[in-house]
Structure 1
Amino acid sequence: MSKRNTLRKKLLATGVAATGLLGVAGAAQAQSSVTLYGIVDGSLLYTSHTLNTTTGQNAGHQFSFTDSGMTGSSFGLRGTEDLGGGMRAIFTLESGISVANGGFDNSNGNMFGRQAWVGMSSAYGTVKAGLQFSPFFLSLYDTDPRGMSYFGSGLVSYVNNVYVTGLFNSNSLTYTSPEIYGLQAAGMLALGGTAGDFQAGRQYSASLRYHLGGLTLTGALYNGNAGGSATSTPVPSTVEFVGRTLGASYRFENSLSVYASYALYKVAGSFSNSVYSGGASYFFTPYLSVNAGVWYTHDGNEGSNHSLLAATGVQYFLSKRTTLYGQVGYVNNHGNMHTGLSINNALNEVTGSTVGTSIGIRHMF
Structure 2
Amino acid sequence: MKRALSPVNIVVPPLICLAFAIPAAHAQSSVTLYGVVDAGILYTSKTVNPATGQNAGHQFSMVTGGMTPSLFGLKGTEDLGGGLKAIFALESGIDIASGGFTDSNGNMFGRQAWVGLASPYGTVKAGVQFSPFVLSLIATDARDVSYFGSGVPLYVGNVFVTGIFNANSVSYTSPTIGGFQGAAMLALGGVAGDFQAGRQYSASLNYTYGPLLISAAMYNGNAGGTAASTPVPSTVPFTGRTIGASYRYRDLTVKASFVNYKVSGSFDNRVYSGGLSYQITPAVNADAGVWYTSDGNDTSNHSIMAAAGLTYSLSAATLLYGQFGFVNNHGKMNTGLSTNGALFGASGSTFGSAVGIRHLF
TM-score (norm 1): 0.92
Partner deviation per Cα, 1:155-198 (whole Å, 9 max, x = no partner): 11111111100000000000000111110000000000011000
Partner deviation per Cα, 1:96-129 (whole Å, 9 max, x = no partner): 0111011111100111000000000000000000
Tell me if the contact between 2:252 and 2:277 (Cα under 8 Å) persists in the aligned partners: yes
Q: CA deviation at 1:263?
A: 0.3
Q: 1:140 aligns with which of 137, 155, 177?
A: 137
CA distance in 2 between counterparts of 1:263 and 1:305 reads 16
SS at match of 1:157: helix
CA distance in 2 between counterparts of 1:291 and 1:194 reads 45
CA distance in 1 between counterparts of 2:50 and 2:102 reads 20
CA distance in 2 between counterparts of 1:30 and 1:199 reads 41
- Residue 219 of structure 2 is matched in structure 1 by 222
- CA 1:313 to 1:30, structure 2 compared with 1: closer, same or farther past 3 Å? farther
> Residue 104 of structure 1 aligns to which amino acid in structure 2?
F
Q: 1:149 aligns with which of 146, 149, 156?
A: 146
- CA 1:27 to 1:283, structure 2 compared with 1: closer, same or farther past 3 Å? farther
Tell me whether 1:94 sits opposite 2:91 in the alignment: yes
- Residue 294 of structure 1 is matched in structure 2 by 290
Bigger radius of gyration among the two: 1
- Residue 315 of structure 2 is matched in structure 1 by 319
Tell me whether 1:103 sits opposite 2:100 in the alignment: yes
- Residue 361 of structure 1 is matched in structure 2 by 357
Q: How does 1:32-181 map to 2 (within 5 A)?
A: 32-181=29-178
The percentage of counterpart residues that share the same residue type is 67
CA distance in 2 between counterparts of 1:325 and 1:268 reads 38
Tell me whether 1:341 sits opposite 2:329 in the alignment: no
Tell me if the contact between 2:256 and 2:274 (Cα under 8 Å) persists in the aligned partners: yes
CA distance in 1 between counterparts of 2:23 and 2:153 reads 48
Tell me whether 1:231 sits opposite 2:228 in the alignment: yes
CA distance in 1 between counterparts of 2:103 and 2:23 reads 39
> Residue 285 of structure 1 aligns to which amino acid in structure 2?
T
CA distance in 2 between counterparts of 1:98 and 1:29 reads 40
Q: How does 1:163-312 map to 2 (within 5 A)?
A: 163-253=160-250, 255-312=251-308
Report how many residues are paired: 340
Q: CA deviation at 1:312?
A: 0.5
CA distance in 2 between counterparts of 1:184 and 1:320 reads 30
User: Which runs of structure 1 show a deviation greater than 4 angstroms over 4 or more consecutive aligned residues?
Assistant: 25-30
Tell me if the contact between 2:124 and 2:170 (Cα under 8 Å) persists in the aligned partners: yes
SS at match of 2:269: strand
Partner deviation per Cα, 1:260-293 (whole Å, 9 max, x = no partner): 1000000122110000000000101111001110
CA distance in 1 between counterparts of 2:204 and 2:306 reads 27
Q: CA deviation at 1:351?
A: 0.4
SS at match of 1:149: coil
> Residue 261 of structure 2 aligns to which amino acid in structure 1?
Y
Q: CA deviation at 1:235?
A: 1.1
Structure holding more helix per residue: 1
CA distance in 1 between counterparts of 2:23 and 2:329 reads 61
SS at match of 1:140: helix
> Residue 285 of structure 2 aligns to which amino acid in structure 1?
S
SS at match of 1:159: helix
Q: CA deviation at 1:28?
A: 5.0
Q: CA deviation at 1:233?
A: 1.1
Partner deviation per Cα, 1:56-80 (whole Å, 9 max, x = no partner): 1110000001111000000000000
CA distance in 2 between counterparts of 1:179 and 1:243 reads 24
> Residue 113 of structure 2 aligns to which amino acid in structure 1?
A
- Residue 329 of structure 1 is matched in structure 2 by 325
- CA 1:335 to 1:26, structure 2 compared with 1: closer, same or farther past 3 Å? closer
SS at match of 1:75: strand
CA distance in 2 between counterparts of 1:119 and 1:232 reads 25
> Residue 106 of structure 1 aligns to which amino acid in structure 2?
D
Q: CA deviation at 1:236?
A: 2.3
- Residue 12 of structure 1 is matched in structure 2 by none
> Residue 257 of structure 1 aligns to which amino acid in structure 2?
T
Q: CA deviation at 1:234?
A: 1.1
Root-mean-square deviation (Å):
1.3
CA distance in 1 between counterparts of 2:154 and 2:103 reads 15
Q: How does 1:15-30 map to 2 (within 5 A)?
A: 28=25
Runs (5+) with no aligned partner, structure 2: 1-21
